[in-house]
């Protein structure tokens, strides 16, 4: 049944976005086991409603994509089934998401499907992207508590009209009082040409690095930082190098031969790794508390996410659309994840 405007508003009220309220754990018991941290660009996860505040309304029934509630429902179901697959039907500790329109689609995904059993909470801010797509972070309240969050704007001093997705910063704590500083990114695309847009991704890298540097300078030891996202660049490109060249951050997806698959998205014949997770050395070198599980960086590549590539050979991703043609699939990106363990 298609939701009414009232039910849409009620769904949006289920979770508070950007809250900074700290709710202590009932018991600070010793934490054990693994904590999975994942990221996925869900590709145009829009609701089917017309947004009168925006010019872009292609993903509506009257729009160019003829997006309706039935297609939205199929997309929502595809998303939750994929999440259950790469989480192995266990709660993800931290899940960064890109290309979601608003809190409504997130609530429909995490409160109206079997994912509701995993005690997730959502952090989301409305960003400045002209198409209305945002980033978000979901965390499990059985594992982590929210301390602080903010949306960091990208501002181009040479072009005041420039608008892009926020970088989402979320500070979390586990039951032992260990703090995680998480950043969710969706950097400016290569639309218009890689060389023509490289400075925009360098702008995003420098904006993020400034925030990371401020965290490091304010701490007596290097903090535990997790940076995830669709960077629209590969690990060896200038923007990612600018972010990780100071020796504090380690790109866990730079060793491309040990990720289980050759890329996270495909352009013609070639797979590329645009979706990555980067951590501070504190998550690798610390001998106590929450640390990175060696060799756990993975590109998830379940068979159901692919179809045969009749044009360029091999496989390609099973997408929701190819141009204006509806396919009923998942995304043009593969999910990525790492595991954290306790020492």
| Model confidence at 1: pLDDT above 60 | no
Which residue ranges make up each domain of the chain?
A: 34-342
Residue entry with tokens 């960086």: 297
Look at 49-58, 73-82, 125-134, 208-217 and tell me which has the smallest mean pLDDT: 49-58
Instruction: Give backbone dihedrals phi and psi of 11, rounded to 5 degrees, phi first.
Output: -65, -40
What confidence tier does 60 reach under pLDDT thresholds 50, 70, 90?
very high
Buried b (16+ CB within 10 A) or exposed e, 249-266: bbbbbbebeebeeebbbb
What confidence tier does 30 reach under pLDDT thresholds 50, 70, 90?
low
**Beta bridge mates, 151:** 168
- What's the length of the chain? 343
Residue 315 structure tokens: 């496989």
Question: What pLDDT is recorded for position 9?
Answer: 36
| Model confidence at 172: pLDDT above 50 | yes
Residue 298 structure tokens: 């993975």
Residue 57 structure tokens: 């309304």
- Write the pLDDT tens digit of every residue in 181-222: 999 999 999 988 999 999 999 999 999 999 999 999 999 889
Say which residues have a Cβ less than 8 Å from residue 171's Cβ, sequence separation at least 6: 146, 147, 148, 149, 179, 180, 181, 182
How far apart are the C-alpha atoms of 298 and 300, rounded to whole Å? 6
Give how far the C-alpha of residue 189 lies from the chain's centroid of Cα atoms, to the nearest Å: 15
How far apart are the C-alpha atoms of 156 and 106, rounded to whole Å? 29
What confidence tier does 98 reach under pLDDT thresholds 50, 70, 90?
very high
Query: Which CATH superfamily, name and number, covers 34-342?
Result: Endonuclease/exonuclease/phosphatase (3.60.10.10)
Quote the percentage of the chain above a pLDDT of 90: 84
- What's the DSSP call for residue 293? P
What confidence tier does 235 reach under pLDDT thresholds 50, 70, 90?
very high
Look at 29-33, 131-135, 246-250, 312-316 and tell me which has the smallest mean pLDDT: 29-33
- Rounded to 5, what percent of the chain is helix, strand, coil? 25, 30, 50
Q: Which helix (H) or strand (E) holds 9?
A: helix 5-12
What confidence tier does 31 reach under pLDDT thresholds 50, 70, 90?
low
Quote the percentage of the chain above a pLDDT of 70: 91
Asked whether 182 and 169 are in contact (CB, 8 A), the reply is yes
SS3 222: coil
State the burial class of residue 340 (Cβ atoms within 10 Å of its Cβ: 0-12, 13-18, 19+): buried
- What's the DSSP call for residue 320? S
**Beta bridge mates, 326:** 321
Nearest to 223 by CA among 253, 187, 249: 249
| Model confidence at 287: pLDDT above 90 | no
């Amino acid at each position: 049944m298609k939701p009414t405007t009232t039910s849409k508003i009620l769904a949006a009220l289920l979770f508070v976005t950007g809250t900074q309220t700290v709710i202590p754990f009932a018991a600070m018991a010793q934490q054990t086991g693994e904590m999975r941290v994942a990221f996925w660009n869900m590709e145009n996860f829009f609701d089917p409603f017309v947004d009168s505040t925006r010019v872009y309304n292609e993903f509506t029934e009257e729009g160019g994509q003829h997006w309706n509630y039935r297609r939205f429902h199929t997309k929502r179901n595809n998303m939750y089934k994929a999440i259950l697959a790469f989480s192995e039907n266990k709660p993800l500790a931290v899940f960064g998401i890109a290309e979601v329109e608003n809190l409504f689609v997130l609530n429909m995904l995490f409160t109206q499907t079997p994912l509701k059993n995993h005690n997730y909470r959502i952090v989301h801010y409305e960003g400045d992207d002209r198409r209305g797509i945002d980033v978000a972070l979901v965390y499990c309240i059985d594992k982590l508590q929210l301390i602080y969050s903010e949306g960091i704007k990208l501002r181009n001093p040479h072009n005041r009209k420039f608008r892009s997705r926020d970088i989402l910063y979320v500070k979390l704590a586990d039951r032992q009082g260990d703090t995680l500083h998480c950043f969710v990114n969706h950097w400016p695309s290569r639309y218009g040409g890689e060389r023509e847009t490289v400075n925009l991704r360098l702008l995003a890298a420098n904006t993020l690095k400034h925030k990371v540097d401020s965290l490091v300078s304010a701490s007596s030891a290097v903090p535990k930082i997790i940076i995830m996202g669709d960077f629209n660049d590969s690990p060896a490109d200038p923007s990612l190098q600018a972010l990780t060249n100071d020796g504090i951050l380690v790109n866990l997806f730079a060793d491309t031969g040990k990720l289980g698959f050759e890329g996270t998205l495909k352009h013609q014949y070639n797979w590329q790794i645009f979706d990555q997770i980067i951590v501070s050395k504190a998550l690798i070198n610390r001998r106590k508390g929450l640390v990175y599980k060696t060799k756990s960086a993975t590109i998830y590549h379940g068979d159901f996410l692919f179809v045969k590539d009749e044009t360029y050979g091999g496989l390609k991703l099973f997408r929701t659309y190819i141009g204006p043609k509806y396919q009923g699939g998942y995304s043009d990106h593969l999910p990525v994840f790492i595991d954290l363990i306790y020492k």
